[in-house]
Amino acid sequence: MKKIFVVLVALATFATYAFAEGGKNQKRQDGEMGQGDTQQERITNPDQVNLSVRQLSEQQKEIIYSIYEEEKLARDVYRTLGNMYPEENTFANIQLSEQNHMDAVRNLCDKYDIDIIVSDNTSVFSIPKMQDFYYDTFVGNPTGSLLEALEVGKTIEEMDINDLGLALQDMPKDVATVFNNLISGSLNHLDAFENAIERETSQ
């Protein structure tokens, strides 16, 4: 009888331990997947994580959208200058990269329910600053030289780097990651324009 009692106690202890560890493992696994503490929470609150990533202020949303149009500005200007100077590959190469930048910010807009209110057509902007920049620079008055066109590219990249640095403030991690990647890309573009300018001035 004593042996049976001991066996029953041992089984009860093992079951309690296994249940507790199973709960911990479930929480650990669910946490790694970023789906909440438990599977039950995922069932009862399936949109909890999705809602948490959408809690941006209107000002933050406006900043993200302005970055989208600024990347579009760069793409449109390089597209226009590339048509004017087809022998200069710098514009064509960076234009493709700027499209990737636009797509990256568009993904953020989709994620945070930010409407893209501007047409994708070249030279069309909803933010007056972007529209003015497009037409008030060399693009709107194509009477200069290739060197001046390259200087426009340099100016845009410097503006992008500065504006992205300011836009990083108080942004969530996913937005900051995208913006930091864009800054790295703009630094590469700036190097490309500076190299092209140096090549042009040395001739």
pLDDT digits (tens, 9 = 90+) for 89-115: 999 999 999 999 999 999 999 999 999
* Predicted pLDDT of residue 55: 83
Q: Mean of the per-residue pLDDT values for the chain?
A: 81
Query: Residue range 177-201: average pLDDT?
Result: 97
Angle between helices 58-84 and 128-136 (to 10 degrees): 20
Structure tokens at 9: 């106690």
Percentage, residues of the chain above pLDDT 70 = 73
pLDDT over 70 (residue 20): no
Q: Which of 41, 39, 3, 7 shows the shortest CA–CA distance to 22?
A: 39
Query: What's the CA gap between 169 and 135, in Å, rounded?
Result: 30
Q: Which residues lie below 8 Å from residue 37, measured CB to CB, with a gap of 6+? A: 27, 30, 31
Q: Are 60 and 170 in contact (CB under 8 A)?
A: yes
pLDDT over 60 (residue 39): no
**In which band, very low, low, confident or very high, does the pLDDT at 141 lie, cut at 50, 70 and 90?**
confident
This prediction has a pTM of 0.73
pLDDT over 70 (residue 49): no
* Predicted pLDDT of residue 138: 79
Query: What's the CA gap between 12 and 127, in Å, rounded?
Result: 69
Structure tokens at 3: 């042996």
Q: Is 153 buried (19+), middle (13-18) or exposed (0-12) by CB count in 10 A?
A: buried
* Predicted pLDDT of residue 53: 52
